[in-house]
Structure 1
C-alpha cells in the first residue's frame, strides 16, 4: 500500500477516532501554546495586548480567506524560501501545474486543509460521535470574562476589520460589566464527558438557547479575559491547560487567553487539526502584534455605545443547573489529580548537538528513555508525533523512540556505567541518533507502521470481518498502552528582529568597513551604466527587452488554458485506459465494454509528449519574462539613482548661492526636537512553551509538526 494511499484512506477514520472518543476534551485532548510577553513592557496590559492580538488574528483570517497567506512549503534548499524570482515564477504558473514548478527547485508544498477549520469552528457534542461545525459567514468575536459570554462584530459585511480603538473600547466595557461570577457557569459543561455534555446541550436547545449556542459555535474564535496573574511556569501551565473551567469554552477550535498581567496563550480543540496550523497562526500573530501593534498604551478609546456589545443570557432549568454543579465538582476533582512541572535545560542546546553531528530530537528522546529506565527499571512504551503534511490531508505518523539501541544505551548509563568508557558511551549515543533519524524520515514519508495498521484495522471493522489476531495480541495492546508521550516542534518559534539578524552582525560590520573603500568605484560604475542606458541606443535596448517580456507573457497567457485542457484530457483518458486494462482475460483491443477507441491508445503517448512540450515552453516563457523584468527593474533603479544624485547636487548648489546672498540676514535655526523610535529593538529572545496532555493511555493524541 503506497504512502499516499494510506494517508488518503485513513483521513475520515482518523477524524472519527477523535470525534467518537467519549472522554472530556480538556486534559485528555486539548493542548496549549503560551506566548512570551511583548518585548515592550508597556504593551503587556491586558486590554492593550488583547486588542493587538485580536487585530493581528483577524488580519491572519483575512489573509487566509483572500488567499494571500503564504503557502506552507518545505524547501530542500532553504535559499529558495527567500528568492523573489521563485515567488514570482510560481505566482505566474496556473494552479494545475504550479506543483511541477515547485518540484523543479525541490520545493514541496505542504497540506493546508486544516486551516479551513481554524476560525469560525466548534466541536458539537453528540451522542456516541461529535460533529465539527464551521460557519465561514460569522463576523463576531466571542469574549469571555468571569464566566459571562459577550459577542460583538469585528468584521463588517465586506470583511473590513473594526477599528482597533473600537475593539479596545468593547473590551474595556466587558471588563467593567462582568464584575462577578454567574451562579451557574455554563462553561463547566464543556469539561464533561461527551455523551453527558451532548444530553445537556439538547436540554439547552429545548429550553430556548439555540440562538446563543449558534453565536458561540459560529464566532470567529473565543477570547478569554482571565482575572488571574500566573506567578511561575507551573501556574501558567495550569492556566493555559484548563484554567478554573468557568472562563473557557473548550469546544471552540481555539481560545486566545489573556491574563490580567498580559500573559497570552492559546488552548485549541484537537480533533480538527494538529499543531501545524496553530503554530503557524501563533507565530505570525505574535510577530505582527509586536512589530506592528494596532494600538499603543495610554491611547484613549472612543465613546462607546454599549448596545453594540451583546451579553448572552441563558435559560437554565433545574436539570441543567444540577448538571452544571455536577460538572463543576468533577472538574475540580480531576484537576486535583493533575501534576505539572516545567523543566528547562540550559547546559547546551541545538547548536551544540548539531556541531557534534547529533540529532537534537534523538538526544532528547534518549534522555527521556534513560530517565524512564532509571525511574522504572525497564523500558516503557513511548510515542512521538511526526507531521505528515507532505501528503494530502496528512495528519501525523508515530515515531517509536523505544528501540534495542535505546535500551542498551539506557542500561549502560544507569546500571553499567563503570563497564563502559566515554568513547563507548559516545558511540552508543551516535548509533541511537542515526537510528532515530531513520525513524523520523520513514514517518515523515508515510512509511511508519502505526497509521498503516490503524487503516487496516478500520477496514476490517468496517467490513464486519472478525478482528485479526494481530490486534488482539498482548504485545500489540502493550505497544499501544502509551506511558511516555512527546511532541517535537521543529518549526521555528516567534523571535524578535534582533534575533533574526544578530548572527550576521560580523558580516554586516565587515561589509560596512569594506564598502567605505569601494563605494566611489561602485558609484562611478553605476554612473557609466546609467549614462549608457539613458542614451538613444540604450533606450532602444530597453524597449526591445520590454517588448520581448510583453510577448512572452502574451504567449504564456494563450498557452495556459490549453495546458489545463490537455491535462484534463490526459487525466480522463488515463482513467479510461486503466479501467479497461484491469478487466481480466481480455486483450486491450477486444474489450467489449471499452469506452475508448484504438486511436486513443495510439494517440495517448503523442498527447503526453505534446503536453510536456507545452509545459516546458510555458515555463521557459515565464522564466524569460521574469528574468527580463528583474533586469529592467535593476536598470530603472540605477537610472533613478543617478537622476536623484544630480537633483541633490543641483539643490545643494542652489542652497550655497542662497546662503551667500542672504548672509546678512542669516540666523541660526533652533535645534529640532530629536525623534526616537516608538518601538525600540529588544534583544531578549522570544520562544513559546508547549504542553501536550496525554492522559488517554490507549491512543495518545498529541499534535506534532
Structure 2
C-alpha cells in the first residue's frame, strides 16, 4: 500500500559490501513540511499572544510613543532617560561599553517603553470601568439616550483598533457578587407564585434566618474569592455542575444542533462530510490565528467574553472515579471517524497544507468502501461514554492504559473532533413532518448510544442521505459558542464551497493521498461486559426520551415587534400559558441567560414564572376577563421578564449566587436548611433560546431557508419539559421539546400543541388585523 510505504522515512540493509541506506525522499519531505507547519503555527500563536497582551496598544503605537518622546527630548535638549542611565551607572559599568549617544538612545527607549505601558494600563482600566456600566440595557428598544451615545463614543475611543478574538479579555470587568439581602428578596419574590401560604411563610422564615446568621459569613468568603479569581462562579460551575456528575452525560448534559430544515445541498454522504469537515477546519485555523471576530452587543461596541472558544477543538472529557477532567491539547492534525462499528484516524494535512473538500471526500469514500468487520468489542465501544461515568473511568484505567488500546484511545481523545458517518437516513419530510423531525432530533441527541463519542467537545454526524448535525459536550462551553461554529459551517457549505452537478465536492481527488488509518483494539471479555452494561443504561435513558420538533410558521418576530413586545418575553409568557394548560399548575422555570459581559462569564438563570406572568395566565383562562385587562397584564409580565433578564445579564441574578454560597457552606462544613431546600427544587420547565449570532452570513430576506433549524437538549426533570427555540428571520420560530415517556404528567406533542395555541391566543390580544385596516 502506498500509505504504508510512505510511512517509512528510510530503509537499510547490511551486506558484505557495507550498509546500503535508502532514503524515502517523499517521507522526508512530508516530515519537513509538517515541521514547517508546526513552527508557523507556534509563531502565529506567539505573535497573537503579544498583540493580545498589549491591547489596546499596538507595536505601531509603541514606535509612535518612543519616537515622539525621544524627538521631544532632543528638541528640548533634555536627557531622554530622565537620569535613569546615570543612576544605573552607579551600580553597573555602563559607560565602559556604551557611548554617550548609545546611552541616550537606550535610556530613551526604556523610558518611552515605560510610558507606552502606562498608557496601555490607563486605557485598559478606563475601558474596564466603562464596560462596568450597564445603564444602556434599561433603555427602551430602538431608542438611545444622549448619555448612552456619549458612553458609546468613549468605549470606542478606548477600545483600540482591529481587535482580535481575545483582545478584550483583560479589559472586561469581573462578575460582581450581589448582596445577600437582594438575592434573598428576589428569591422569595420568585417562589411566591409557586407556594401555598403555609409553605411560603416557612420559607420566608428560613430565608430571614439565613440572611441574618450564616449568610454574611459565607458571603465574606465569596467576596474574597471574587477579588482573587477571574470569575467567582465559572470554575465551580464547571466542576460541580458538569464534571463531578456521575450519571450519563448523553441526554442529561450533551445537546444537539440541526442542519438546514428545507435545503438538501447533496445526497452524497462523503461529499457532505468533505465540505463540512473542511469548513470546520477553516474555522479552527481562523481560531488559531485569533481571526474570529469578538462578539459584540449594542451597535457592535460592547464586547463579550471570548474565553469559551479556547477549548472548542482538540478537547476531550476524561472520566474519573470522582470527577472528570477536560483534556485539551494545543494542536491536533487529525480527526477520528466512526462508521459501522470501526474507528479510523484521518490526517487533515498533506504537503504542509489543509486537505481540500474533494480530498476529504476521497478519504470518507475510502472509509465507506471499507468492508472489514469490527474487532471484538469495537462496534459498541463508545457506549462507555454514554453510560455512567464511574464504570467508564474504571474500565479506562484497567483496559486502556497501555498498548494498542491506549494508542487508539489517544487517537480519538486527541483528535480535533469526532465524526460519525451514520448508516441511517434522517431528513425533514413534508408528507410526514412530525415523525421525521422527531426521529432526526433523537438521532442527534443519542443515536444508537454507541455511535457517538460523547466525551469529545463535539461530534459531527453525517447521515447516509447527506443530512448532518452536531452533538456537543456541555462542560467546556455553552450552546452559543458551538452555534457560532455551526453558523460558519452552514454558510460555507452550499454557497461558498458548493457542489458539482453530480453532488460531489468541487475539485479533484488526490492521486497520492495516504488513506485513513484503521484503529486497532484488543478488548477483553471483561471489558465487553462493562460496555454492554453501559449500553443498557444508555438505551434505557434514550428510549425514555419523548422528543418533538415543530416549526411554528404562523408568525415570527416580525409580527411580535409590531406588538411592541420583546420576542423572547412573548415566547416565555406563551410557554407559561401553555404549561398551565398542559399541567393545570405553575412550576419553577429555568431560562438560560448569559453573563459574558464579564470576564469568563457563562450563564445565569432567569426565573420566568413570575407573579405578573401568573396573573396574566389566570386572566387568559378565566371566562369573564376582558381583552383590555389581559393586554394590560401581558405588558406588565413582559416588562417584568425583561427586567429580570437584564438583572441576570448584569450579574444580579439569583441562582449562581446561591449555588456559590452553597459550595462555600460545604467547604466550611456548615449545614444550611435554606440553601439545601433552594437547590433541591427541580426545574420542571427548562428553556433556552438559540440565538442567531452572525446574521450577516445569511440572506434571510431572500433565502430564509438557509439557516440552521436550531437545536435542543434532554429534559432536566423526570416529570418536566425541556424547550429550546430559535427565531429564524421574521416569520419562523422552531421549537424543540423534550420530556420522558415514563412520566404520566408529560407529553411533548401535547405540549407542542399547547405552545402553538398559546402563541396564537396572545397575538390575538393585539388585534393587529383591525389596526392594519
TM-score calculated relative to the size of structure 2 = 0.60
Indicate whether 1:290 and 2:494 are aligned: yes
CA deviation map 1:30-67 (0-9, x unaligned): 0000010694x553421111100111111100001011
Indicate whether 1:200 and 2:395 are aligned: yes
Indicate whether 1:223 and 2:424 are aligned: no
Q: How far is the alpha carbon of 1:697 from its aligned partner?
A: 6.6
Paired position in structure 2 for 1:544: none
Inter-partner Cα distance in structure 2 for 1:484 and 1:279: 23
Q: How far is the alpha carbon of 1:147 from its aligned partner?
A: 2.3
Distance 1:25 1:305, change over 3 A: farther
CA deviation map 1:250-276 (0-9, x unaligned): 000000111011111110000111012
Indicate whether 1:108 and 2:295 are aligned: no
Inter-partner Cα distance in structure 1 for 2:613 and 2:407: 56
1:334-413 to structure 2, matched below 5 A, reads 334-413=541-620
1:103-502 to structure 2, matched below 5 A, reads 107-155=301-349, 160-177=353-370, 183-184=376-377, 185-206=380-401, 208=403, 209-231=405-427, 232-293=436-497, 296=500, 297-298=503-504, 301-302=508-509, 308-414=515-621, 416=622, 418-462=623-667, 464-473=668-677, 476-477=678-679, 480-492=681-693, 497-499=698-700, 502=702
Distance 1:388 1:703, change over 3 A: farther
Which shifted more, 222-231 or 121-130?
222-231
Q: How far is the alpha carbon of 1:696 from its aligned partner?
A: 5.3
SS in 1 for 2:287: helix
Inter-partner Cα distance in structure 2 for 1:182 and 1:240: 25
CA contact (8 A) 1:385 1:704 kept: no
CA contact (8 A) 1:234 1:341 kept: yes
Question: Is the radius of gyration larger for structure 1 or structure 2?
Answer: 1
Q: How far is the alpha carbon of 1:404 from its aligned partner?
A: 0.9
Inter-partner Cα distance in structure 2 for 1:180 and 1:210: 21
Inter-partner Cα distance in structure 1 for 2:637 and 2:174: 28
Inter-partner Cα distance in structure 1 for 2:323 and 2:351: 34
Distance 1:43 1:693, change over 3 A: same
Q: How far is the alpha carbon of 1:171 from its aligned partner?
A: 0.5
Inter-partner Cα distance in structure 1 for 2:691 and 2:498: 30
SS in 1 for 2:549: coil
SS in 2 for 1:308: coil
Inter-partner Cα distance in structure 2 for 1:339 and 1:8: 37
- Count of aligned pairs between the two proteins: 488
Q: How far is the alpha carbon of 1:686 from its aligned partner?
A: 2.9
Q: How far is the alpha carbon of 1:497 from its aligned partner?
A: 5.0
Indicate whether 1:695 and 2:695 are aligned: no
Paired position in structure 1 for 2:130: none
CA contact (8 A) 2:348 2:354 kept: yes
Higher relative contact order (CA 8 A, sep 6+): 1
CA deviation map 1:608-640 (0-9, x unaligned): xxxxxxxxxxxxxxxxxxxxxxxxxxxxxxxxx
Q: How far is the alpha carbon of 1:460 from its aligned partner?
A: 2.1
Distance 1:38 1:155, change over 3 A: farther
Inter-partner Cα distance in structure 1 for 2:423 and 2:331: 31
SS in 1 for 2:419: strand
CA deviation map 1:374-429 (0-9, x unaligned): 22222111101001111111010000001111211222222x1x221111111111
TM-score calculated relative to the size of structure 1 = 0.65
Q: Which runs of 5+ in 1 are unaligned?
A: 82-106, 503-681
SS in 1 for 2:400: helix
Indicate whether 1:16 and 2:221 are aligned: no
CA deviation map 1:58-115 (0-9, x unaligned): 11000010111111122x23xxx4xxxxxxxxxxxxxxxxxxxxxxxxx121111111
CA contact (8 A) 1:442 1:448 kept: yes
Inter-partner Cα distance in structure 2 for 1:121 and 1:157: 25
